[in-house]
Structure 1
């Protein structure tokens, strides 16, 4: 029982303590609200309102400040007294136990002071804005008056530099000054809100006018002086160039100059209407077209200098190429009586001659144009450049054709010499074979020897023709030399195999009676040698037999043979 009572007492004590602490918390909030109310009173906001009223506001500005005064009156006469009353109630009730009522009174007071602070903040911002506008407008009036004075002075003292734009500029300035008068009047009368709405557009218009006044003299001078002078200079120079013998391809100078004069005239109207963006864009187009005409004349002048320097040289080059081609054709015609020209030499030389004639025709037309003062020098310069390039190529081709036939006579003589040498070589081979005193020669060798002999005869007949084909001669020589080399190899093989076969058989005779195998091989080798003329087979048969009976014996015989052969050749 005692424990229950103690527990109840503890709970009551805790609740009481919590209530006391909460009441104390609300009391602290109430004291904070009192401090916030005191700060609002210390602002002396009425003095600030009175200062703004002293500016002498009218219109929307006066309505706004009256509204601010009403809001402030509501704060001081209604909200603050109610807040104070709620704060006193919180202080009083915080001593009791009705913490719910105290809490509601405290919350109401806190909401009211928040409202009051927000209202005061808005009022102060408005007052600051009014003071700022008043200062800004006073300064704007002074600044704008100075700017308009300066603009008037420029338009008056430099009116010629503005050309057709002067009337529009003066009208623009008058319009802006009228707007300025409205702004100044509203500002001085205290209607700053309406005045501020005008000021932005007024500043923008004034900035644009100042920019136009700054830019127009240059744009006007460019069109009225620079462009007009350039157009007349181009017209005069073009006329002088025509009189001096210059012509222009697709000459449209007169049309272009007339278009430029019209464009300049239109652009002066753009300036008069203050349409400067369009005027500047037109300036760029006009300048580009003028530069193009200058460039066309400059190219003709530069081209004439180069033509004057090189025209005669090109003419001499043409005559040189023409003469060289005639000499080449004459030489080809002479050679064609004795030699077959099988690579289109004559046709190619004639084609080069035709090309030279075409170059000469163009040259003559250009020369007539110069003499008749109808020359388009840029075109003539292109012709000279192209002609020189073509003539260079023609000269290279002429040289190649000439080189290809220049050695025909030497080649013919060399071919005769080679043919004589081959014929001698063939007789030399024949003597070598005869000197062997062989029982016979294989049909294969005889046939190959006959082929080479016939080839030499055929080439002799080719060389004896009235008109020789050196291509055919060279081809036949190439074949004969190859077959000659093969015949020499076959001859060497024949001489070596037959000579060695005889030596080995002589060596084998010493073993004939004592070695039946050698005796049999010797008989077979002799048959191959004497009856069938198969000297390599004869050698192989007997060499195999003696090497079997006496290893290394054939190699010694062979080495001795080739050594003697080499020594004999060296002595020769």
Structure 2
């Protein structure tokens, strides 16, 4: 009995759960049905009828009539077939939900959703196409007003200023007539209701009139350039060319007559382009042509300038070459004189020959140039380049002459400087001797004597090298440098010995006051005195200073102060 009650309770609980789950699912599916119903109503109330009504104000013929019929049939199919199908499927979905057939309900929902998507896409296409048609009509009407105004303006301009368009006037008439025909075609298409085709025509016509306007703005100036300006510049250029030929200028390298013939041919071609109202190639070509003419003017002007330059500078070159020859002779003579007194390097001895050889080559080059100038068979621009090359060589040779001359002159100066330096070293040696004598040292260490002898020997080497004939200044400078270094070192060591000796003597005298009281100090001072007598002043100072500082710290500083007061 107990188990039976439990089974009943479990069954009731299970049924309650099933009922609750079923209730929740039914509520969810009913909500989806409501959403689909709302979407159907939204589709039904899309403003398709209103938009189709806006088409009726257009000319309902031709393309417009066909499009309208197609849209109307599509909308009728939606209203009479597809939306009722959605109603039936919504009813079926509700019935499946009531009976808890959720899988069938879900399948029906998906079919409704797919059909709704198809209907919405179809409605969007209708509305877009209607908007395009109506918009095309509005845009056509607005833009054609501007096009007609522009067309009238261009036509009046051609009539009023026809003479300025010259040979292009006939082609411009044709282009305007073509535009008029397109305007007439537009009106015919509009009457027939072919608004979309008319739209394409309007865009084409607008672009053509823009291009035509640009052509009509450019053609008068381009015609003037082709027929008047450039021919005048060309003729002036040809006149100037002929006049320069008569004056003896050599201008064959310019090939000007050939280029002028090319310009004539190009001008005829450009006139033909303008006759057909084609401006782009003419515009670019004329710019290049003007640049070319300007370049020829510059080249002719350069020939005139270079002639003045050649005539003027050529008169100077001969005189300058004579001057260079005189200087080379002076350098050769000076070199012979100097090499008797001084040893010169092989490179230096070769320089006069190198200068003379370079000058001979330069003279030959100049004579050849002078012959070309006299023959009057070469362009002055080419002669000028050759002349400038010779002038550059002259400048280089002048620098080489000056540099070598200064080098020769510097040998005598270097000798005088070396002799002055030798006097200074000898004076420094005498000063060192006086310092030693004045210091009253008992003697000098052996290394000092050796260093002194070395300094004397090196000074003697300098004397000998200065008295050699021919004089080798490189050797003199080496001996002089060695002697200067040794004498400077000797002076430094001398000052050091004198100071050490003087200081050691004072420290030993100061330490004598403690000699009788301190045996260790007495022994150290005896050793310091022995070192002093052996001329080892640095060692004597170190031993005495160490001993005195041990007995009386700070004594050295006081001794230094006393020495400074004595100076």
TM bucket (normalised to shorter chain) is 0.5 to 0.7
**TM-score, normalised relative to structure 2:** 0.61
Q: Residue deviations 1:382-433, cap 9 Å, x none? A: 3432333334455566778999999xxxxxxxxxxxxxxxxxxxxxxxxxxx
Q: 1:3 aligns with which of 2, 6, 20?
A: 6
Check if 1:237 corresponds to 2:240: yes
**Structure 2 counterpart of 1:454:** none
**Structure 2 counterpart of 1:128:** 131
Q: 1:71 aligns with which of 69, 74, 79?
A: 74
Q: Residue deviations 1:317-375, cap 9 Å, x none? A: 2444456668889999999xxxxx99579966864664464255246436535xx7x67
Q: Structure 1, unaligned stretches of length 5 or more?
A: 336-340, 407-470, 483-554, 557-572
**Superposition map of 1:438-477 within 5 A:** none
**Structure 2 counterpart of 1:36:** 39
Q: Residue deviations 1:114-162, cap 9 Å, x none? A: 4433332222222222221111111122122122222223333334444
Query: Between Structure 1 and Structure 2, whose CA radius of gyration is higher?
Result: 1
Quote the Cα distance in structure 2 between the aligned partners of 1:387 and 1:111. 96
Check if 1:248 corresponds to 2:254: no
Quote the Cα distance in structure 2 between the aligned partners of 1:140 and 1:184. 13
**TM-score, normalised relative to structure 1:** 0.61
**Structure 1 counterpart of 2:181:** 178
**Superposition map of 1:19-30 within 5 A:** 19-30=22-33
Change (3 A) 1:240 1:7: same
SS at match of 1:317: helix
**Structure 2 counterpart of 1:368:** 374
**Contact residue 220 and residue 271 of structure 1 kept, 8 A:** yes
Q: 1:201 aligns with which of 191, 200, 204?
A: 204
**Structure 1 counterpart of 2:217:** 214
**Structure 1 counterpart of 2:458:** none
**Contact residue 54 and residue 134 of structure 2 kept, 8 A:** no
Quote the Cα distance in structure 1 between the aligned partners of 2:8 and 2:33. 37
Q: CA shift at 1:86, angstroms?
A: 4.1
Quote the Cα distance in structure 2 between the aligned partners of 1:344 and 1:92. 125
Check if 1:146 corresponds to 2:149: yes
SS at match of 1:54: coil
**Structure 2 counterpart of 1:300:** 303
**Structure 2 counterpart of 1:524:** none
**Structure 2 counterpart of 1:519:** none
**Contact residue 307 and residue 381 of structure 1 kept, 8 A:** yes
**Structure 1 counterpart of 2:263:** 260
**Contact residue 137 and residue 187 of structure 1 kept, 8 A:** no
SS at match of 1:247: coil
Quote the Cα distance in structure 1 between the aligned partners of 2:267 and 2:69. 61
Quote the Cα distance in structure 1 between the aligned partners of 2:191 and 2:260. 58
**Structure 2 counterpart of 1:226:** 229
Q: RMSD of aligned C-alpha atoms?
A: 4.7
**Contact residue 328 and residue 349 of structure 1 kept, 8 A:** no
**Contact residue 234 and residue 294 of structure 1 kept, 8 A:** yes
Q: Structure 2, unaligned stretches of length 5 or more?
A: 339-343, 410-467, 480-533, 536-567
**Contact residue 40 and residue 83 of structure 2 kept, 8 A:** yes
**Structure 2 counterpart of 1:119:** 122
Q: CA shift at 1:68, angstroms?
A: 0.7
**Structure 1 counterpart of 2:430:** none
**Structure 1 counterpart of 2:364:** 358
**Structure 2 counterpart of 1:440:** none
**Structure 2 counterpart of 1:419:** none
**Contact residue 300 and residue 376 of structure 1 kept, 8 A:** yes
Change (3 A) 1:269 1:472: farther
Quote the Cα distance in structure 1 between the aligned partners of 2:108 and 2:357. 122
**Contact residue 321 and residue 356 of structure 1 kept, 8 A:** no
Q: Residue deviations 1:484-514, cap 9 Å, x none? A: xxxxxxxxxxxxxxxxxxxxxxxxxxxxxxx
Q: CA shift at 1:34, angstroms?
A: 3.3
Quote the Cα distance in structure 2 between the aligned partners of 1:172 and 1:247. 51
Quote the Cα distance in structure 2 between the aligned partners of 1:353 and 1:108. 109
